[in-house]
Amino acid sequence: MKVIRLREGKEKSLLRRHPWVFESAIARGGADAGETVRVEAADGRFLAWAAFSPASRIRARAWSFEEGQRIDAAFLRERLAQAIAARQRFDVRSDGVRLVHGEADGLPGLVVDRYGDTLVAQFGAAGTERWKAQLADALCALTGLMRLYERSDASVRGLEGLPEATGWLRGEGATELTIAEHDWKLTLDIATGHKTGFYLDQRDSRKLFADTVARLGSQRVLNCFCYTGGFTVAALAGMRAAGVTGHVTSIDSSGPALARVQAHVALNGFAADQSECLDADVNASLRRFKDEGRRFDAIVLDPPKFAPTVAHAERAARAYKDINRLALGLLEPGGVLFTYSCSGGIAPDLFHKIVAGAGIDAGVDGYIVQRTGAAPDHPMTIEFPEGDYLKGLVVMRR
């Protein structure tokens, strides 16, 4: 077994069972991509078994902190079984569910989502790439499913020195799927959709938005960065539950995504004239609405990742502040803003400060009604706070 030895004092994070070893922490040692290495402190003490990645700044990702553990196919199968079993204990109101969430499930770099009878996997690190065949076999055996599609096309693959890879790993068939979520239906294409095909992490926030629209009787709703319209469907469902006839304006810069929004409106039995889709820039649209004097009862801001790392935080903060300032100015008193950041480089307290600054600049005060995060099948663990990537605030204008 190959060994990497850490520099003096660099063992502290591993002693706290944090799974990452950065290049700068290593004094000597190396291995092939994905190979299991023994990680030792400067004095030779065992710290972890880890997958080595010679191309990445995260040079090793820990599989286990138990010295007697053997890293093999049986170990990986057991980790998968534990992750899948945990989902049975979470409150997931959908047949679209994340079964494996990387480091949080002790499988660094691996993401697996289930959409009905189909699995979709992303192998985002050298270790999971090396064990891809065994992981695929175990996933199919443990779930009883025969279809497994690979979506290893995220940018993190490049940081690991790995090429993009997509296509069927097991089985074959159509990539266009329909899932049930709460009381509505949503469609996706696992070959072309964002992430593994859909944003499962916002499942509970969509339900919260539907319930809020229903409780407040909101009739004028704006969904920014709408993608395929999950929040649009949620808003219309809330209006239907409240017995009000309202209207949702959905904005995105993707024509195909907006076409799916319209399809979702029809699929869930809503009238076409309740929904307007704008293929436009969000910032420009918000400014135009301000000039036109338009107002809304509820607004969703769910933008793409502005800050993938802390190094991008300052620039991203300006972008987040601008869109939140404009949105808060468009809210009616008593209206609600559901605003999100999925940027790992923006900490929750910083996001709060950004939204607060946006309110000050807009001359708007508001109550923070609720803080939200990713759905429970996208867990954050005590030992891995970096898993807290999705931050949300529900703000009611005073």
The DSSP secondary structure of 119-173, one letter per residue, reads: EEEEE-SHHHHHTHHHHHHHHHHHH---EEEEEE-STHHHHTT---EEEEEE---
Q: Tell me which of 43-57, 305-319, 359-373 is least confident.
A: 305-319
How does pLDDT run across 143-174, given as a tens digit for each residue? Answer: 999 999 999 999 999 999 999 999 999 999 99
How far are the Cα atoms of 3, 34, 123, 183, 392 from residue 47, in angstroms, in the given order?
11, 18, 25, 47, 36
What stretches of the chain adopt beta strand conformation (E)?
2-6, 20-22, 26-28, 36-40, 46-52, 58-64, 96-101, 110-115, 118-123, 147-152, 165-170, 176-181, 184-189, 220-224, 247-252, 275-279, 296-301, 331-341, 366-372, 391-397
How does pLDDT run across 291-339, given as a tens digit for each residue? Answer: 999 999 999 999 988 866 777 778 888 999 999 999 999 999 999 999 9
- Strand-pair partners of 98: 113
Given a cut of 80, is residue 188 above it in pLDDT?
A: yes
Given a cut of 70, is residue 219 above it in pLDDT?
A: yes
Residues in Cβ contact with 72 at an 8 Å cutoff, skipping those fewer than 6 apart: none
Rounded to an integer, the average pLDDT of 335-356 is 93
Given a cut of 90, is residue 269 above it in pLDDT?
A: yes
Given a cut of 90, is residue 262 above it in pLDDT?
A: yes
Query: Which pLDDT band holds residue 1 (cuts at 50, 70, 90)?
Result: confident
How does pLDDT run across 330-341, given as a tens digit for each residue? Answer: 999 999 999 999
CA dihedral 49, 156, 343, 76 (to 10 degrees): -40
pTM to 2 decimal places:
0.95
What's the pLDDT score for residue 210?
98
Query: Which pLDDT band holds residue 11 (cuts at 50, 70, 90)?
Result: very high
What's the pLDDT score for residue 185?
98
Report which of 294, 254, 270 is spatially closest to residue 210, judged by C-alpha positions.
270
Could you tell me what percent of the chain has a pLDDT over 70? 99
**Residue environment code for 68-79, b if the CB has 16+ CB neighbours within 10 A, otherwise e:** eeebeeebbbeb
Rounded to an integer, the average pLDDT of 80-89 is 97
Residues catalogued as catalytic: 342
Query: Which pLDDT band holds residue 33 (cuts at 50, 70, 90)?
Result: very high
Rounded to an integer, the average pLDDT of 32-38 is 98
Mean pLDDT (the chain) is 96
